[in-house]
Amino acid sequence: MKAIFDKVSNNCSEITTKAYSTSFSLGIKVLDKSLHNPIYGIYGFVRFADEIVDSFHNYNKKELFKKYKDDTYLGIKNKISLNPIINSFQEVVNKFKIDHSLIESFLNSMEMDLEDQNYDENTYKKYILGSAEVVGLMCLTIFVNGDQNKYKKLKPYAMKLGSAFQKINFLRDVNDDYKTLGRTYFPEVNIENFSKSDKLKIENEIENEFVEGLKGIRMLPNTARGGVYLAYKYYYNLFKKIKKIPAQEILEKRTRISNFRKFTILVSSMIKFHSKQL
């Protein structure tokens, strides 16, 4: 029965999420149970695409990515894929009628990482749109359960939040991105001479996006609000930690939030959510 295969596929996406991201896994646990499998499906899909371009250095990345991309579109069209991660994702796409242009934008951004890029303002924005903002919009499609009026109202806030998260990822991972992968995402920034003013400019952008993102979180349905707020609090705490680090020290190591701190963020976030103090 296909139902068994679909269950196995969903389990694969859940295992992938838990293996790669403890913080994201905690956020999903706080969502209404009905949202767990769909969000696992999205995370598993985007995680595997990201792994191809970021990790599989001893393999033909272009060939692997093309196969993954082709299999994705075929799986969505046929409503089945023998790749369990893609099968889990196509089920979400077809059930919630996720706009295919969001998927295309995401895959295009991942494809940009297959080549050496010198990012200008336009390509920087294009990359953030595809790698983060549209992923937030996929999740938003699920959170509003097909309500187009809610989707249109919350869309700009979801995009701001996704952009803030991605820029924090850039700052957190700048050492690995530059030294290991040879990437520099920030336009007109010389990473080797990353200055206080460079860092402050990026931080101001993030701060403004967080303000807008929180407005959107407050308007989300109850089923999704707690989990998204937890992700917001996790990233905001990571952001505050990054802000305290001098620009040149950012290049020396990856900034992290300890598991104990993640737990305290979880507890405080849930207290605020249940007491309706967001």
Quote the pLDDT of residue 165. Answer: 93
Q: What is the mean pLDDT of each run of 10 residues along the chain (278 residues)?
A: 94 96 85 96 97 93 97 98 98 97 96 84 92 95 94 97 92 76 78 85 95 96 92 91 87 74 70 63
Output the CA–CA distances (angstroms, integers) from residue 182 to 16, 50, 54, 177, in the order listed. Answer: 26, 16, 11, 6
Q: Are 38 and 95 in contact (CB under 8 A)?
A: yes
Per-residue model confidence (pLDDT) at position 273:
60
**Rounded-to-integer distance, Cα 242 and Cα 238, Å:** 6
Backbone φ and ψ of 184, nearest 5°: -135, 110
Q: How far apart are CA 166 and CA 158, in angstroms?
A: 12
Number of domains in the chain: 1
Name which of 194, 241, 239, 232 is nearest 213 in CA terms: 232
Q: Whole-angstrom Cα distance, residue 155 to residue 216? A: 8
Residue range of the domain that includes 185: 2-274
Q: How far apart are CA 220 and CA 44, in angstroms?
A: 23
Report angle CA 223, 269, 276 to the nearest 5 degrees: 60
DSSP 81: -
Which pLDDT belongs to residue 239? 92
What are the structure tokens assigned to 164, written together?
A: 């803030």
pLDDT at 120: 85
φ, ψ dihedrals at 276, nearest 5°: 60, 45
What pLDDT is attached to residue 129? 93
Query: Which tokens is 72 given?
Result: 């994705």
CATH number for the domain spanning 186: value is 1.10.600.10
Return the pLDDT at 45. Answer: 98
